[in-house]
Amino acid sequence: MKTFLLSLAATTALVAPAHAEMLALEKDVLTFGFIKLTDMAPLAVAYEQGFFDDEGLFVTLEAQANWKVLLDGVIGGQLDGAHMLAGQPLAATIGYGTEAHIVTPFSMDLNGNGITVSNEVWDIMKPQLETGADGKVMHPISSSTLKPVIQKFAAEGKPFNMGMVFPVSTHNYELRYWLAAGGIEPGYYSPENVSGQINAQAYLSVTPPPQMPATLEAGTISGYAVGEPWNQQAVIKGIGVPVITDYEIWKNNPEKVFGMSAEFTEANPNTTLAVTKALIRAAIWLDENDNANREAAVEILSRPEYVGADPEVIANSMTGTFEYEKGDTRDVPDFNVFFRYNATYPFYSDAVWYLTQMRRWGQIAEAKPDSWYDEVARSVYKPEIYLKAARMLVDEGLADSADFPWDSDGYKAATPGADVIDGIGYDGKTPNAYLESLPIGLKGDQKVVGNEIQG
């Protein structure tokens, strides 16, 4: 675990821009947690570019061993906030796994994940795939091409295992979404069996992100879903092939959030605003001028106290490209999005999507009315804090008013089917109708009882 302290130099630490309004902070010495992934970038940039300093905040950033340790730190008060899986505040608030009211005033990014398979699996998949005039495999790749792999493994008496980072992670839900879109059952959860492997054809289990490549190389898993730089690390090491990005699964899908306990935000409203302001500025910096600052961001993230991967590995995706097979590098300018497309606004519809996936796979065991999804989303996602911080930045001349959705009701326009790999659109205002539209997964009053879906 790497810990590092904000410089306490009196000549610089408390100096804000001349046009900025300093908030009366309830707490100015803060500790934030993160996992070593490139999408923690807003925290690193806010620290390194002095945006926390500008708000009068003395910040310590601490890498955490895994997502559970990180969540427990926020709940226990050892961390004042953290880079979180979007599902974590929602799951904690509804009491799935750990019960605690966690909120988010800031979404950290869009996209940024991929699904990688071992060389052995790729060799079986590849002959089924179409190629273009350039000889390169055409994307997106359907998970249906995994069916011969699963059949081969079954014939050899072994399960087909894949890794994901946490039961309520975007990676778990994206991997399940991709598998189901190709007709592969990824397994269910029940109150009695939280493995997520009930009736599974592909067996998903938790592996911490930095351990993914080594676990793949050891043969413990045959593929994984993870954020960067760990898909590109498999390419560089020659141990696997990323077969699809989450941008190809769902264009501009929501990813991580910045989470804090509701108790902290209520006791420290001005501090929460100041933190949100600094993070918004960091996100702007990361995307401004057509990603002009990404090379500088790569250098920051490559440092051991942050992600600690080789700059070449981080740059593979962070600078607008993505490498699939070794040598097959393609332009994916929106692989990592930190500010454009209202990426930092905490939309209720994003929260609702995560909740639908929890219900789809049995983590939410019983049917819930549409109103419940809306109520939970509003209790966790806090756009009112975000917009207040944004308004202050605009008034201070540090942000452009046109970049914020001032009149939003908290719900994005419905996602068209053309933007999703299975062709099924998503409207956050009608979660039960959405669940009904998905061929694989729980719907209506269905529940998992033992090894059966009833209802």
Residues 271 and 384 in one domain: yes
Residues 74 and 145 in one domain: no
Residues 352 and 309 in one domain: yes
394, pLDDT greater than 50: yes
DSSP-assigned states of every residue in 10-34: HHHHTPPPTTPPPP--S--EEEEEE
pLDDT at 158: 95
- CATH number at 162 reads 3.40.190.10
Residue 67 vs residues 35, 74, 216, 343, 353: alpha-carbon distances, Å:
7, 11, 20, 22, 20
Parent domain of 390: 3-110+254-323+334-403
DSSP-assigned states of every residue in 50-98: THHHHTT-EEEEEE-SSHHHHHHHHHHTSSSEEEE-THHHHHHHHTSSS
Residues 297 and 193 in one domain: no
Among residues 204, 227, 251, the one where a domain terminates is: 251
**Is residue 346 situated within a structural domain?**
yes
7, pLDDT greater than 50: no
Among residues 403, 422, 445, the one where a domain terminates is: 403
Residues 388 and 263 in one domain: yes
**Is residue 269 situated within a structural domain?**
yes
Residues 133 and 96 in one domain: no
Residues 142 and 79 in one domain: no
**Is residue 165 situated within a structural domain?**
yes
pLDDT digits (tens, 9 = 90+) for 287-302: 999 999 999 999 999 9
Among residues 385, 403, 421, the one where a domain terminates is: 403
Residues 166 and 68 in one domain: no
- Tokens representing residue 52 in the block: 């926390």
**Is residue 427 situated within a structural domain?**
no
pLDDT digits (tens, 9 = 90+) for 67-91: 999 999 999 999 999 999 999 999 9
Contact assessment for residue 275 and residue 392, using Cβ atoms and an 8 Å cutoff = no
- Closest listed residue to residue 120, CA positions, set 172, 157, 160, 176: 160
Residues 128 and 245 in one domain: yes
**Is residue 408 situated within a structural domain?**
no
163, pLDDT greater than 50: yes
**Is residue 439 situated within a structural domain?**
no
pLDDT at 90: 98
Residues 203 and 239 in one domain: yes
pTM of the entire predicted model: 0.94
Residues 99 and 189 in one domain: no
**Is residue 414 situated within a structural domain?**
no
CA torsion angle for 354, 357, 361, 364 (degrees, to 10)? 50
381, pLDDT greater than 60: yes
**Is residue 317 situated within a structural domain?**
yes
Is the backbone peptide bond immediately before 209 cis, with ω within 30 degrees of 0?
no
Domain total of the chain: 2
Percent of the chain with pLDDT over 90: 94
Residue 275's pLDDT band, with cuts at 50, 70 and 90, is: very high
Beta-bridge mates of residue 329: 323
Residues 160 and 262 in one domain: no
